[in-house]
Amino acid sequence: MNPFFLRTIVVVALIIKVYGSFSCTNLIVTKGASSDGSTMLVYTNDGEWLYRLDRTPARDHAPGDSVEFTSRSGARGKISQVQHTYALIGFQMNEHQVAIGETTFTGREELWNKSKFLEYWHLMILALERAKTAREGVGMITDLVEKYGYGSEGESFSIVDPNEAWILEMVGTGNEGEGAVWVAVKIPDGYISAHANMARIGEFPLNDPDNCLYSANIISFAVEKGYYDPASNEPFRFNETYNPPSPDRLKYCESRVWSLFTRSAPSMDLSPDYHRGIHGAERYPLWIKPDKKLSLRDVMALVRDHYEGTPYDMTKGVDAGPFGNPNRWRPLNWEKDDREYSWERPISTYNTTFSYIAQCRSWLPDPLGGIVWFGEDDTYFTCYVPIYCGVDEIPEPFANGNIQKFSWESAWWVFNFVSNFANIKYSYMIQDIRKVQYELENKFINDQDSIEVNSKNLDEKQMKKFLTNYSLTQGNYTHQRWIELGEYLITKYNDGYVKDDKGSPREVGYPDAWKNKMMSIETDKFLIPEWGKDNKIEKLPY
């Protein structure tokens, strides 16, 4: 196994073993649903860990080579290596513009086959190393689990290329079982789809191999286990069978899908009843047609969300504090008087490790057509930096860091610092942060035309060198700008004051609405007795 591949496998395996499965969000935009004809995939990887982005070069392998894997439970095994593996950016995109994401839905825990060694992140990297198209990626993953078994919990995979987008959902067969149970559906062109820690594929066609593939045991296994009764005359639905819903999971997971769909297609007037756990409410569709074709900027905006402007707006209410802070510290659930409560779980969350937007463009050569728009930390605070799939190097700040030790040299730590510091006075600081964020992202997006023009007449080697230099420059520049932003915020908002344009500190206090709310809760606590009014001075001293 090459060292780059091994490092990624070891890091991901270690983090999952320590911190548990990730809670992630995926958004898929087919080429016909995007304003420029690109396929796009958003993958937010949420969990308290530090990911170091790397590049794995393409490699040739000798006959008889194998690749060894170890699962979280300690199961070990080998699979046969292929003759040639493709170059990768992280475990996000390969040199042929195939990109992949995932969200864990767990499902029926008794189906988690911990005796098998292939876990979902192994499958993601193997698919990227071996597939030239999304459809091939689906085939690679499903062929591997049929042969070697599946050692993870229930998982939804997003797999896209410049022309197609697929969702693959998979569960194991239990500790005594072999293979896996799975279904894969192609998202129709012109539509978008999303998943967020719940299985999303319901009914599916049994005789449409161009658009739907599934394991031979998908229904028979459910019947054998007592999950599905054909005599019920109910249609077979993968999601209801292998990942039965519950009100707490609906609120945690489907709220994010609802938000993405509602903001992409307001005309649908999509009901919130399902994600609020109203019994018998209709499930959300697997895909929808957006009201307008989505640009890259639109997609960036869609994954920056705390339910603003909805009844669930996390910047409003007493729980948002005086400065409209949407962050709710974990754990998100608690109990009182035998009832269960929870905060909302938004798409934008402070413990996002990284997110990326894959942009796959069929009309351009692969090194130029595929872009990993990579962002550290919370989607709301990050800045998406373009890293082309044809680059030979990764910007150093994005490849460095240790979660056990803060460092200004690590992009993850710098972005994490800025987003954490903003919790002090969120409604003020977010304006400063979004200003720099928009400035940089707008520049990067506007650069794309000139990048294409300047790359047009270059041979592949020259093109890769040019794209590498550009990506390195922009990554390093973004890192430096975020250091400057952090230092600016410390200076401007020191000790609770807000410095004006001349650097003079101003007392801004708290919003009246929040003070009124506090007074309604504990009036006497804040009240000053009225005696001695005539002795009152104009302003109390420090």
pLDDT tens readout for residues 427-440: 999 999 999 999 99
Q: Could you give the angle at which helices 3-19 and 120-130 cross, rounded to 10 degrees?
A: 160
Residue 17 has pLDDT above 80, yes or no: no
Long-range Cβ contacts of 233-238 (<8 Å, 24+ apart): 235/203, 236/203, 237/202, 237/203, 238/169, 238/183, 238/199, 238/201, 238/202, 238/204
Q: What is the dihedral of CA 496, 420, 376, 386, to 10 degrees?
A: -10
Taking the C-alpha atoms of residue 495 and residue 276, their distance in angstroms, rounded to an integer, is 40
Q: How far apart are CA 254 and CA 3, in angstroms?
A: 38
Kindly give, in sequence order, each residue whose CB lies less than 8 Å from that of residue 473, ignoring residues fewer than 6 positions away.
none
- Secondary structure (DSSP) of 56-117: E--EE--TT-EEEEE-TT--EEEEEPPSEE--EETTTEETTS-EEEEEEEE--GGG--TT--
Nearest to 426 by CA among 289, 282, 306: 306
pLDDT digits (tens, 9 = 90+) for 58-93: 999 999 999 999 999 999 999 999 999 999 999 999
Overall average pLDDT of the 112-138 stretch? 98
Question: Can you say how many angstroms the Cα of residue 7 is from the centroid of all Cα atoms in its chain?
Answer: 21
Q: Report whether 288 contacts 267 (CB < 8 A).
A: no
Answer with the residue of higher pLDDT: 513 or 532: 513
Retrieve residue 373's tokens. 């728009």
pLDDT number for residue 542: 56
Cα–Cα distance, 491 to 468 (Å, whole number): 35
How far, in whole angstroms, is CA 423 from its chain's centroid? 21
Contact 395, 471 (CB under 8 A): yes
Q: What is the mean pLDDT of residues 218-241?
A: 97
Mean pLDDT of 143-157: 98
Q: What rounded mean pLDDT belongs to the chain?
A: 94
CA 424 to chain centre: 25
How far is residue 384's CA from residue 452's CA, in Å, rounded to a whole number?
19
Question: Measuring CA to CA, which residue among 97, 128, 86, 93 is closest to residue 363?
Answer: 97
Beta pairing, strands 339-342 & 333-336:
antiparallel
Q: Half-sphere exposure of 330 toward its Cβ, with a 13 Å CA cutoff?
A: 11
pLDDT at 406 over 60: yes
| Complete DSSP assignment for 460-527 | HHHHHHHHHHHHHHHHHHHHHHHHHHHHHHHHHTGGG-EE-TTS-EE-----HHHHHHHHHHSHHHHP
pLDDT band at 541 (very low <50, low <70, confident <90, very high): low
**What does 234-291 look like in DSSP terms, one character per residue?**
PPP-HHHHHS---HHHIIIIIHHHHHHHHHH-GGG---STTTTT-TTPPPPPSEE--S
Mean pLDDT of 319-348: 96
CB atoms within 10 A of CB 420: 15
Calculate mean pLDDT across residues 200-214.
98
For the record, the structure tokens of 212 come out as 């739907």
Decide: 261 and 274 in contact? Cβ < 8 Å: no
Q: What average pLDDT does the segment 200-224 reach?
A: 98
Asked whether residue 179 carries a pLDDT value surpassing 80, the answer given is: yes
Could you tell me the CA-to-CA distances from 124 to 100, 138, 320, 541 in Å, in that order? 7, 10, 38, 63
**What confidence score (pLDDT) does residue 530 get?**
86
Res 399 pLDDT > 70: yes
- Is the pLDDT at 43 greater than 70, yes or no? yes
Rounded distance between C-alpha atoms, residue 140 and residue 164, angstroms: 16
CA distance 123 to 139: 11
CA-CA distance, 67 to 59, in Å (whole number)? 13
Query: pLDDT at residue 205 above 60?
Result: yes
- Cα 204 from chain centroid? 26
pLDDT at 11: 46
What mean pLDDT do residues 502-510 have?
94
What is the percentage of the chain residues whose pLDDT exceeds 90? 90
| pLDDT (tens digit per residue) in 461-470 | 999 999 999 9
Q: What DSSP line would sit under 325-367, residue for residue?
A: ----PSP-EEEETTEEEE----SS-TTEEEEEEEEE-TTS-HH
Q: What is the spatial distance between Cα 372 and Cα 36, in angstroms, rounded to a whole number? A: 16
Which pLDDT does position 84 carry in this prediction? 98
Using left for φ > 0, alpha for ψ between -120 and 50, and beta otherwise, residue 275 falls in alpha
Q: What is the pLDDT of residue 23?
A: 84
What confidence tens digit (pLDDT) does each residue in 409-424 have? Answer: 999 999 999 999 999 9
**What's the confidence (pLDDT) of residue 20?**
42
Q: What is the pLDDT of residue 528?
A: 86
Share of the chain above pLDDT 70, in %: 95
- pLDDT reported for residue 522: 87
Tens of pLDDT, residue by residue over 345-389, are 999 999 999 999 999 999 999 999 999 999 999 999 999 999 999
Lowest mean pLDDT among 5-9, 316-320, 532-536: 5-9
Is this structure's pTM higher than 0.85? yes
